[in-house]
Amino acid sequence: MERDSSNVFLWFFGGAVLGAAVALLLAPESGERTRHRLARQAERGKKNFLESSQDLFERGRELYERGREIAEDAAAMFERGRKIAEKTIEDRI
C-alpha cells in the first residue's frame, strides 16, 4: 500500500517542531551554542526539505507524463474505433 507523501511530510514537520521545542527547553549548553546547533539543524532540515520537494516534483512530473500518454493512447483508440464504425456503416449501405 502506498503512503500519502503529504501526510508523511506533515508528521515529519510536526515532529521536527516538537523536537526543536523540547531541545530548547532542555538545552544544557549556553545560548550561543544552542543557537549555533539550531542553525545547523535548520540548515539540515532545509536541505532535506528541498530534496524531498524535488523528489515529489519529479514524481508529479512523471505521473503527468504518464497520464498524458494514456490520454493520447485513448484518443487514438477512439479515433480507430470511430473509423471502424464509419466503415461498417458504409459497408451496410
**Across the 93 residues of the chain, what is the mean pLDDT of every consecutive 10-residue run?**
67 85 74 82 89 90 96 95 89 79
Q: What is the pLDDT of residue 14?
A: 85
What is the per-residue pLDDT for 4? 63
pTM for the full predicted model: 0.47
Given this model, what pLDDT does residue 17 score? 86
CA 1, 8, 56, 4 torsion: positive or negative?
A: positive
Q: 29 φ, ψ to 5°?
A: -100, 170
pLDDT at 11: 85
